[in-house]
Structure 1
Amino acid sequence: MPMILPRFKKKRMASFFRDAILFFLFALSGTLSGTLSAATTVTIDAAVTYQTMLGFGASDAWNIDYVGRYWSSAQKEAIAEKLFSTALTTTGQPKGIGLSRWRFNIGAGSAEQGSASNIEQAERRVEGFLNADGSYNWTKQAGQQWFLQKAKSYGVDQLVAFVNSPPRFYTKNGRANSDNTSTDQGTNLKADCYDDYATFLATVLAHFKAKGLPFAHISPVNEPQFKWEKGQEGCPWNNTEIKTLVAALNQALTDSALDTRILVAEASSYKDLHQSINPTNKTDQIWKFFNASRAEYLGGFDHLLPGICGHSYWTDGDDATIRAQRENVYRECQEQGGIAFY
């Protein structure tokens, strides 16, 4: 039985890549076979800068762990080259897309729970470094670690660690997702485990730094607006809880002499960053986190990045929406001290 899952994953991944390529070719053929529009002249002035891209990256959640563990060395090496290489062939063609940022998912231990994790799809379960007795097993997430090493060896200089849920040993229900029994849809982290969770993250970061894999950023919460009752690892948080966690993590990073910066708050949409949406204790995050008049203000934490992170789901319906949502985020960031947007 242990080998059935890897073979299944390999076939599923191969099927995914095949279908993606076929979809692309189909879309391309449709474009080429359609009526051509009139030619448009585009002039690019390299002396004019409109924005600065801080990085171009991707995440290893989730199937990359199976690829790293069970695919052949030749297959893995080929994928790593496509992801990370900035080299050119003898004919001047790029060998890869040259990612400059790689996100590593620190698991909460749902894989060890199997079906009891309340995560039906096995590939969405993630191993955890933390054991029940408080010790660590650094052999876990081996496939992800393989690609993390490869990213570094190819020169990727922006390694980002992110978390979907605290370790299951620290959660209220003993799982890596929430029962959402709280009336305010608050966190699944036990009230007395903020320091434990922060220490866990600092320990993981220190371990990888000692291996020559220092993380530039740590993102301790992900899409806190969602309930995260099933389907994958996830944990809801309100803004006050996020501030409490940032304070604990800031201290843990200082105690561990780490220079990793804290990245908040991986909002589920751009609207959550600049609008007051129910539940209001989870939204309007730019203003609440970076305005000194607010109780949730995150000023004074030296490990915190002076910026905020959000996801662009549901903001691409049309050109006007795409433009308006991004302009609103930019405007709010400027009003709150000119913080960066990630």
Structure 2
Amino acid sequence: MRTNRTRRAPRRARLAVAGALAVATAAAGLATGPVAVAAAPVTIGIHPGTSYQTIQGWGTSLAWWAEGSGRWASVPAREALATALFDPVDGLGFTVARYVYGADGPANTCAATQWPESDFHSFQPTQGTYDWADTSGQTWMLRAAQKRGANVFQATNYSAPVWMTKTACSMGDFSAPGTDNLDPAFYDDYAAHLATVTQHLQTTTGVPISSIEPFNEPKDTTWPALLQDYPTPGVTTPIGTQGMNASQATQNAVYQELIAALSSRGMTPSTGIAASDEVSVASTVAGVNSYSPAVRDGLTQIDTHDYGGGDGNAVRLVAERENTSLWMSEWGSNGDRDDTSPTSMGAALELSSRIIKNQDEMHPEAWVIWQAVDGPTNGGKLNDLWGLVYADYAASGSGELTFPKRYYAMGQYSKFLRPGSVMIADTDPSTMTAYDFGSGKLVAVATNSSGAARDIALDLRAFGGTASATAFRTSATESIAPVSAGTIAGSTLTSSLPANSITTFVIDGLSYSGANARIQVDDATIGTGANQWSYSAGWGHCAAAACGDPQNLHAGTTSYTGQKDATATLSFTGTKVALRGVTGPTAGIARVSIDGGPPTDLDLYAAQRHGDQLIWQSPDLASGPHTLEFRHTGRFNPQASQSVSALDRAEVTTTAAPAAGSLVSQADPGTVRNDLTGEVGLSFTTGASPVTVTALGRQLVTGSTTGVHQLSLYDSTTGTAVATAALDTAVSETDGLGFQYRPLAAPVTLAAGRTYHLASAEAAGGDQWREFDSTVALRPGFTANGPAYRLPGGTWTVFGATPTKGYGLVNLLTSP
């Protein structure tokens, strides 16, 4: 940020926290007096035992702003913009960039002109002829992003080259808007074009493209996009941007061709396929579900835009089913504000709200804004949300940059929630939390969109360690400014959030060893047993200063090799593994595989050397023992000066285990709802022996589980509640399946062979709970009867045809 070089050191709050459910005395260390807080702040429970995605990064599409700004006459202005977006110290620290392949060529009958620089030139302007004289501003900005630390790059196309379209128009079919514009005769040519351009870009620029997306809002956005009454009232005007409709059948056919094109060129280990970047979650889900099994099996990533604002859990479930990564790949509100002040927080708070919603529902590995820069040339306004930076991004622009509050709002997330940290559950709908299990750093971003101060208490009882806390805030008068983190008492950090503000708390020095703790395997942990590295000949090992600068290695060690085909092997037991390594100008290309399966190539080049960098994470794995092989290929990026591969650590996700005595042995949460007042849960029948119940539980829905929930267990024959419990979700820890429990006042014995209904009382408009599409399995000795619900004053309804499903979700514990 512009203030980073001159800002004063942030004040730190120090606290000591013991292990789960224990409290230690805090050592106060605030530089000044504590922030005044209300007597009863809102408690925000933080639950590292319920963890979600490993964050891959934050980023932006390069359309259309980069094409113009990357050709500004003032190179210092270009550099300043690239720094503002991609530099992790003096900017937002974006690590993800989406590069757009153009469609324009001499045959184009309708070049896009309304949006500045949106008539992207095609690398294949005429059939069979490639034009590699790349002077595009987009490529300049791509290189500048990589130079500053961006390392995740995706290629996408808004329209096929015009000579492949039915209408020779890069904006769509004006005679029949919304209809397919890709000529079926060129499906294979289009796939070959995408593969060829990607291969060329990688080999000539040294920018590794990790995935290709052939479409952009292909079905449920009408191309050409037509705007009524804009800019002239009573007149319908084309929006003036490249676009191409493709039916689901067309998409399926192109994806089949692209799978073959990448495979035939040997690109599959390095470049995957993403789908389908539809305009909304619902559209993306429908698109992916329409593809053939072969196409779905060939996808490595699901991308969705979020202009529809639907339940992101739906696309999360599809990504989990297909075992792919998931991105929220485009959003921008275009919400014009009533005022023109650069200090207005309206757009900033809207941006923060959308980020939290997407994170709570989708759990995306990457979150990508559409336009990082927008300006007056195309009608952009200082207080809308198409861009984070306000500038005339046309090539003729002056390079003058304005930073509205939404730019700093983005930085409250992207500067602190860094790649490799893991999103974890919390109980507040206005807070996002993530934890680095290896470094012990917790980050909580709390938003207060109200007009009054909000007093909060971050409950850290799940953690151990001695921690120090810093805080940074954006408000009408602050821009990621260092502020007091608050006061500490026991294992609680208490602070006050000013009206209309976003505050990021960075808490270092924590540890966690509870349910679902992720295992860290340092590169120096060498042996042939579980959770140990085994190295072939050709590897070296170093520690501390012998490893060179900078000294930001995990545990101060790294293991490295420059010998072709030298391997490092890790045996582990779990359901997922992530690799951290050393990236830099001498780094080479490594190849990783699991259990002898398909390999993935990892280009470890970076302009600056950094240790403990997230370089790869596996898809979900079957629970059990696995073997990871990390192999040095001897190849290297065109920009690299040597070819060295270096490991730092592995992070193993262990098998999620329920609490002792849990009725539920497996729980896969579905979509959410909160539109019903009544009791929701599941029905079950006990086995041949009586059982004693000691606690009732409800699964936490992150960001939407607050206050106290009434849980009840009913005898289905008599209708009597045989057990009740009031669950305080803010202070109850989660087990390995994400359930929180409230012990009963006295144990209750359930009769053998009898049916019971277990439910949580919910209120319309209140906390969210899991829908009918949630899957549960009960431990042996119990029979599941299906989801159950009851409206006030009504009778129970049980869906016996779906015994593996449940509402809520709810659970109970029994004694041995």
Structure 1 332/260 Cα, relative in aligned 2: closer, same or farther at 3 Å?
closer
Q: Is the 8 A contact 1:286 1:333 kept in 2?
A: no
Match of 2:257 among 221, 243, 248: 248
Contact 2:98 2:156 in 1 (8 A): yes
- The structure 2 residue matched to 1:107, chosen from 82, 87, 102, is 102
**Which residue identity is paired with 2:137?**
G
Taking structure 1 as reference, are residues 247 and 124 closer, same or farther at Cα in structure 2, changes over 3 Å only? same
CA distance in 2, matches of 1:188, 1:115: 14
Cα deviation for residue 140 of structure 1 reads: 4.0
In the aligned structure 1, how far is the partner of 2:145 from the partner of 2:118?
Answer: 22
Q: Match of 2:278?
A: 267
Q: Identify the match of residue 313 of structure 2 among 327, 334, 339.
A: 327
1:80 lines up with 2:73 in the alignment: no
CA distance, structure 2, for counterparts of residue 330 and residue 47 of structure 1: 20
* Structure 2 counterparts to residues 85-164 of structure 1, below 5 A: 85-86=87-88, 94-109=89-104, 116-117=110-111, 119-132=113-126, 134-140=128-134, 142-164=136-158
Per-residue CA distance 1:250-275 (angstroms, 9 max, x = gap)? 1221222223111111011011134x
Distance 1:117 1:256, change over 3 A: same
Q: CA deviation at 1:170?
A: 0.9
How far off is 1:149 after superposition?
A: 0.8
1:1-342 to structure 2, matched below 5 A, reads: 39-45=41-47, 48-86=50-88, 94-109=89-104, 116-117=110-111, 119-132=113-126, 134-140=128-134, 142-179=136-173, 185-211=178-204, 212-225=206-219, 226-229=221-224, 230=238, 231-258=240-267, 259-274=270-285, 284-289=286-291, 292=293, 298-301=295-298, 304-305=299-300, 307-315=301-309, 325-334=311-320, 336-342=321-327
1:119 positional shift: 4.3
Equivalent pair of 2:280/2:307 in contact (CA under 8 Å): yes
- Which structure shows the bigger proportion of residues in helix conformation? 1
Shift in Å at residue 176 of structure 1? 0.7
Q: CA RMSD in A?
A: 2.7
Change (3 A) 1:330 1:95: same
Asked if 1 retains the 8 angstrom alpha-carbon contact of 2:195 and 2:261, the reply is yes
What displacement does 1:118 show? Answer: 5.6
Mapped to 1, the partners of 2:127 and 2:53 lie a distance apart of: 48
State the secondary structure of the residue aligned to 1:202.
helix
Q: Deviations over 1:293-312 (max 9, x none)?
A: xxxx52453xx31x421111
CA 1:42 to 1:182, structure 2 compared with 1: closer, same or farther past 3 Å?
A: same
**Distance change (3 Å), C-alpha of 1:193 and 1:115:** closer
How does the TM-score come out when normalised to structure 2? 0.31
Larger Rg: 2
CA contact (8 A) 2:58 2:94 kept: yes
Are 1:127 and 1:141, in contact at CA under 8 Å, matched by a contact in 2? no
Determine the C-alpha separation between the residues in 2 that align with 1:234 and 1:118.
9
**How far 1:45 moved relative to its partner?**
4.8
CA contact (8 A) 1:84 1:100 kept: yes
- Give the Cα–Cα distance (whole angstroms) in 1 for the partners of residues 152 and 112 of structure 2: 33
Instruction: List per-residue Cα deviations over 1:22-79 (Å, max 9, x = no partner).
Output: xxxxxxxxxxxxxx99843435455652333332110110021111112411111111
Task: Give the secondary structure class of the aligned counterpart of 1:178.
Answer: coil
d(CA) in 1 for partners of 2:284 and 2:118? 27
Q: Is the 8 A contact 1:309 1:341 kept in 2?
A: yes
Deviation of 1:142 after TM superposition, in Å, equals 1.6
How far residue 287 of structure 1 moved from its aligned partner, in angstroms, is: 2.5
Aligned residues: 272
Name the % identity.
27
SS of match in other structure, 1:213: coil
CA shift in 2, pair 1:190/1:156, >3 Å: same
Distance 2:135 2:162 in 1: 16
SS in 2 for 1:70: coil
Q: Match for residue 28 of structure 1?
A: none
Deviation string 1:189-210 (CA, Å, 9 cap, x unpaired) is 1111111111111111111111
Unaligned runs of 5+ in 2: 1-36, 225-237, 328-816
TM-superposed CA distance for 1:128, in Å, is 1.7
CA contact (8 A) 1:180 1:186 kept: no
Whether the 8 Å contact between 1:199 and 1:252 is mirrored in structure 2 is yes
Q: CA deviation at 1:339?
A: 4.1
Shift in alpha-carbon separation, 1:337–1:75, aligned structure 2, 3 A: closer
- Partner of 2:100, secondary structure, is strand
- Residues in 2 aligned to 1:130 and 1:84: alpha-carbon distance in whole angstroms: 30
Q: Which amino acid aligns with 1:271?
A: A
Distance 1:41 1:265 in 2: 39
How many Å apart are 1:113 and its aligned residue?
Answer: 7.2
Rounded to whole Å, the distance in 2 between the matches of 1:337 and 1:133 is 36
Superposed displacement of residue 104, structure 1: 0.6
SS at match of 2:97: strand
Aligned-partner SS, 1:76: helix
Relative to structure 1, the CA distance from residue 62 to residue 50 in structure 2 (aligned partners, 3 Å threshold; closer, same or farther) is: same
Deviations 1:158-178 (A, max 9, x none): 111110000011111111122
User: Which range moves more in the overlay, 124-133 or 152-161?
Assistant: 124-133
Indicate if the aligned counterparts of 1:264 and 1:308 stay in contact, CA closer than 8 A: yes
Equivalents in 2 of 1:137, 1:253: separation in Å? 21
User: Higher strand proportion, which one?
Assistant: 2
Whole-angstrom CA distance in 2 between matches of 1:161 and 1:333: 20
SS in 1 for 2:215: coil
Q: TM-score of the superposition, structure 1-length normalised?
A: 0.71
What SS does the aligned partner of 1:176 have?
A: coil
For the residue of structure 2 that corresponds to 1:227, the secondary structure is: coil
